[in-house]
Structure 1
Amino acid sequence: MLAADVLSRIAAELALFASVGFLLLGLNDLAVDIIYLTRRLWRSRTVYRRYRKAYASFFCFNKNPGFMAIFVPAWEESAVIAAMLKATLKRLDYPDYRIFVGYYRNDPATGAAIASIADPRITSVEVEADGPTTKADCLNHLYDALIAHETVTGRRAKAVVLHDAEDLVHRYELRVFDGLIGRAAVVQLPVLPLVDRNSRWISGHYCDEFAEAHIKELVVREAVGAAIPLAGVGCAIERVPLAKLAAQHEGRPFAGKSLTEDYEIGLRLGGLGLKTMFVRIPSEPGEPGVVSSRGYFPSTLGAAVRQKARWLGGIAFAGWDRLGWSGGLGERWMRLRDRRGPLAALLILCAYSAAFLWSQLWLADLLGAPIQVRIEPLLATLLTVTGWLLLWRVLMRAWFTASAYGLEEGLLSMPRLFVGNLIAVLAAFRAFSRHVGGRSQTWEKTQHIFPKEAVL
């Protein structure tokens, strides 16, 4: 009985801590939902009644379309880079661009794969260092190559577009960037992971998270006046602001020691008072979906944990030191949301631990053991409120996933929430241990695949 009382008390304390934390986070999420739904209702009653719906296919080229430089950093990407380049060259509907692809001197296989695509619009850039360094460092070498190209040709790029070696690029992407760069220093398109039929649970949980983030979260960020963080793919940075960043950091616009250089550069440009823009625009009438960057995300538990740990480490831990808490109320609110990942992981761990302990006590009670599990009224109230908030959160996640991927994926998003929680907890532990241990931050390799049908 004494041991049971102790376990019951431990479970209650864990549940109380988790409930208070989830109440605060849940109300925070609810505020974002209310802003999004209110904004959507208002626009449907005003803007969309006055103006025709815009489509990317209707975007007219400027009389002199700008020269676009696409940066693709690569480390051990020989399996996908050739297919990605071939598909990109085939798909892009734009007359003036060049793809700068970076690889390392100790990665000759990737260099050979790049060289196999003989096209004058591709510039292969060898990093004169043994890789991997960081993705940002590779991007800085590509920036140097762009400067050299501009010097030789006398033509300055209008914008720098970022992509990864496994990305499926939308055909109208550069057309949209050309039309909007100038109105904003940064333009971010949605990122929509491809559905991996062989990894419906691990890879699939990225579909759920990005659907909600790139349908709701970034829209709300813009609405409250916060800067748009870049996703590292499907985004364009105006050339002049990028040069300003380079001038402030010894010619290196990308933070070479950062794990999340893409996230940081959007906030840094926003901190300079420049406009950052998130754009969801349909491709053309009768075609589902929006202009977006697509690709397969990690399909194994280990790869997903490593990737999430890099994001957490760069945003929640290092980002606190590197970027601080500058900006207005909306900016500070969004930075707080960005950095809550480790706390959320701790709350999840406490909640699951409490649930496990209570399940064992209730099981013993069912089997006839003289055990009574009591839950205090305050805790019971907290559990009820957070339970309703959790139900709302699950339904919202399912709605956004279904709107992007269909009803089947929307329904799967509900049980996938537990998979995402497990990955978040493991990633938080990994990120924390690496941050506290002061381990050197290098580019951690994730195995990528590219959709073969895109090349056909």
Structure 2
Amino acid sequence: MGLAEPVRQALSGLLMIEQELLLFAGFWVLVGTVDELAVDCCWLWFRLTGRARTGTISRDEAQAPLRGKAAIFIAAWQEDQVIGHTIRHALSAWQQDDFTLYVGCYGNDPATVTAAIEGADTDPRIRVIIHERAGPTTKADCLNRLYRALCDDEKRSGRAFRCVILHDSEDMVHAAELAVVDAGLVSADFVQLPVRPEPQPASRWVGGHYLDEFTEAHTKSLVVRDGLGAAIPAAGVGCGFARDMLERIAQSRLAAGNPGPFAAECLTEDYELGVLVSRAGGRSRFLRVRDAQGDLVATRAYFPARFRESIRQKTRWIHGIAFQGWERLGWEGGGADTWMALRDRRGPLTAIVLACSYALILVEGVLGVPRIFGWSASMPPPPILGWMIAIGLFSLIWRSLMRALFTGREYGLAQGFWAILRIPVANYIAIMAGRDALSSYVKTLRGGQVIWDKTRHDAHPAAAGGVLAA
């Protein structure tokens, strides 16, 4: 094929870019494949040896009295559309009486205050706490305000709480949650229950990709962490902390001027708190339990249904876990903790590798046209490139099958099929969130303030007819 010299030079340049992208993406896909296969092998071994068995809880056990008083913390800013549903559903689902639900609000957010009070009605187990500062501060700051209210209540009553459980304003709790957390804290200082995103027919792609990611993470990855004895990060919902452990962490933060156990300057204070439990010598557990009807004892919620909100949410996660986690938590712990920390903080690198992979597809498309008409490459690819491409193809097929398997088992075969189709959507969100997380982190290094860039919620599963077995 005869080509003008400028065109030939441009194609030769693209050919060099093609090989560089193939080598870069191929290397990191190889590393990722080894990492994921190691997790898969651990999970299979734990399953075969019975160490990853899902427990069960009977109806009587789910309704049994608690071993001590529980406190539930919910920080709420501009959540008037969902907070009332959350409170009413929790009161109707939980059969125990020995708990207090603390809802943190702000005086300059009267709609949320009103919705919380209406949801509580006259139930004495609900305490709506108005922050003395105007909102939004940060979620951790709001949680610390609730912690101070808890301490004040303990002094007035002369009775200490046994545990503190965290939830978000949009959560739909399970009827057996308090019983499972209460039992788990007999032998642990922190327990985390699974999170189960609810399907949204109007958002099959964006909202649906959370089904795939959380199901695989909370069926396999966290099970492996638990089996290895690595630190369990708190998800901020459905997680329970022993009261004395929370006080120990709060006291350790006083020297840094932090008025409570939650790091007010951290975007993922829940994740950090879970890791700190392990570093303080406490025992952490991830508990998978099913009720008498076979339903998973998990926190259900609707996740963002639009690209913009999903990217913003994951930007906050990557910023807090990858960048602030590296800066604030370092690399303490044993081999299992280091391995899991590397996995947690790979978000920015994953975004780069994915972006390069999709750029490679564009380059291949451009080069494909002259190749069809007979243009031959003058630069032979290195032999290792073929192996990398083969491993990358294997990784794509294997990961797709695993994702479909986990999603299909929890949500049905149709959702398992959609899990494969949603992979490009998840990749796009990961790329954009990684880019935005780097940008926001650089701004904080230049003196920018960390703010509560939360996701607004307009719908609640309970309002859509969601019901959990009592």
The superposition leaves residues 330-356 of structure 1 with CA deviations (integer Å, 9 ceiling, x where unpaired) of 111100111111111101111110111
Match of 1:445 among 429, 454, 458: 454
Matched, 1:191 2:199: no
Q: Which residue of 2 aligns with 1:225?
A: 229
Q: Does residue 266 of structure 1 match 2:270?
A: no
From 293, 301, 319, the equivalent of 2:325 is 319
Q: Which residue is 2:422 aligned to? A: 416
| Aligned counterpart for 2:143 among listed residues 126, 139, 142 | 139
Contact 2:66-2:182 at 8 Å conserved across structures: no
Task: Tell me the secondary structure at the aligned position of residue 370 of structure 1.
Answer: coil
Residue pair 1:105, 1:128 contacting (<8 A) in 2 also: yes
Question: How far apart in 2 are the matches of 1:150 and 1:60?
Answer: 26
Would the aligned equivalents of 1:326 and 1:332 in 2 still touch at CA under 8 Å? Answer: yes
1:281 aligned partner: 289
Distance 1:420 1:340 in 2: 15
| Unaligned residue ranges in structure 2 (runs of 5+) | 1-7
**1:53–1:160 distance in 2 versus 1, CA, 3 Å:** closer
* 8 A Cα contact 2:66 2:96, kept in partner: no
Task: Give the 3-state SS of the residue equivalent to 1:273 in structure 2.
Answer: coil
The AA in structure 1 aligned to 2:175 is R
Matches within 5 A, 1:170-185: 170-185=174-189
2:77 corresponds to which residue?
Answer: 75
Residues 4 and 140 (structure 1 numbering): CA distance in 2 closer, same or farther, change over 3 Å? same
- Looking at structure 2, the residues matched to 311 and 371 of structure 1 have their Cα atoms a distance apart, in angstroms, of 46
Map of 1:34 onto structure 2: 41
Is this contact kept in 2: 1:184–1:274, CA < 8 A?
yes
2:17 equivalent to 1:19: no
**Counterpart residue identity of residue 460, structure 2:** F
Question: Is the 1:4–1:371 contact (alpha carbons within 8 Å) kept by the matching residues of 2?
Answer: no
Indicate conservation of the 8 Å contact 1:12/1:354, yes or no. Answer: no
Q: Structure 1 4/28 Cα, relative in aligned 2: closer, same or farther at 3 Å?
A: same
Q: What is the CA–CA distance in structure 2 between the aligned matches of 1:217 and 1:73, rounded to whole Å?
A: 28
Distance 1:385 1:412, change over 3 A: same
Equivalent runs, 1:345-364 vs 2, <5 Å: 345-364=351-370
1:9 aligns with 2:11: no
CA separation in 2, counterparts of 1:330 and 1:381?
29
Q: Which moved more, 1:207-216 or 1:390-399?
A: 390-399
Q: Is the 8 A contact 1:173 1:292 kept in 2?
A: yes
CA distance in 2 between partners of 1:455 and 1:331 (Å):
37
2:440 is aligned, of 430, 434, 443, to 434
Displacement of 1:53 = 6.0
Q: How far off is 1:283 after superposition?
A: 0.8
Q: Secondary structure at the match of 1:198?
A: helix
Cα distance in structure 2, aligned partners of 1:56 and 1:372: 67
Question: Quick one: distance in 1 between partners of 2:369 and 2:406?
Answer: 37
CA contact (8 A) 1:190 1:214 kept: yes
Q: Distance in 2 between matches of 1:122 and 1:293?
A: 19
Say whether the 8 Å CA contact 1:182–1:238 is kept in structure 2. no
Gaps of 5+ in 1: none
CA contact (8 A) 1:59 1:179 kept: no
| CA distance in structure 1 between the aligned counterparts of 2:467 and 2:186, rounded to whole angstroms | 32
Pick closer, same or farther for the CA change 1:455–1:85 going to 2, 3 Å: farther
- Tell me how far apart the structure 2 counterparts of residues 22 and 39 of structure 1 sit (CA, whole Å): 25
Matched to 1:440, the amino acid is: Q
Higher mean displacement: 149-158 or 298-307 = 149-158
Task: State the distance in 2 between where 1:124 and 1:20 align.
Answer: 53
CA distance in 1, matches of 2:182, 2:467: 25
User: 2: distance between equivalents of 1:393 and 1:362?
Assistant: 27
Provide the C-alpha distance between the structure 2 equivalents of 1:279 and 1:225, rounded to a whole number of angstroms. Answer: 13
Letter of the 1:416 partner, please give it: R
Deviation digits for residues 140-182 of structure 1 (CA, Å, limit 9, x no counterpart): 0000111111112222111001000000000010011121213
* Secondary structure of residue in 2 paired with 1:59: helix
- Where 1:212 maps in the other structure, the secondary structure is helix
Q: Is residue 56–residue 172 contact of structure 1 (8 Å, CA) maintained in 2?
A: no
2:347 partner amino acid = G
Q: Does 1:340 align with 2:346?
A: yes
Aligned pair in 2 of structure 1 residues 134, 387: CA closer, same or farther (>3 Å)? same
More deviation, 446-455/136-145:
446-455
Q: What displacement does 1:317 show? A: 0.4
Q: Is 1:255 the equivalent of 2:263?
A: yes
Deviations 1:332-385 (A, max 9, x none): 11001111111111011111101110112113433x363548644321221111
Q: Secondary structure at the match of 2:303?
A: coil
Query: 2-side partners of 1:56 and 1:246: how far apart?
Result: 36
Q: C-alpha distance in 1, partners of 2:376/2:60?
A: 70
1:82-138 deviations in whole A, cap 9, x for unaligned?
Answer: 111111111112221111000112111111111113121110011111211111110
Once structures 1 and 2 are overlaid, which stretch shifts more, 167-176 or 52-61? Answer: 52-61
Higher mean alpha-carbon deviation, 178-187 vs 312-321, is at: 178-187
- Give the AA of the match of 1:174: L
Separation of aligned partners in 1, 2:404 and 2:346:
22
Cα distance change of structure 1 residues 53 and 66 upon mapping to structure 2, 3 Å threshold = same
C-alpha separation between the residues in 2 aligned to 1:60 and 1:124? 27
Distance in 1 (alpha carbons) for counterparts of 2:423 and 2:370: 29
What does residue 152 of structure 1 align with? Answer: 156
The one-letter amino acid of 2:240's match is: A
Of all paired residues, the percent bearing the same amino acid is 42
Answer yes or no: is 1:212 the counterpart of 2:219. no
Q: Secondary structure at the match of 2:209?
A: helix
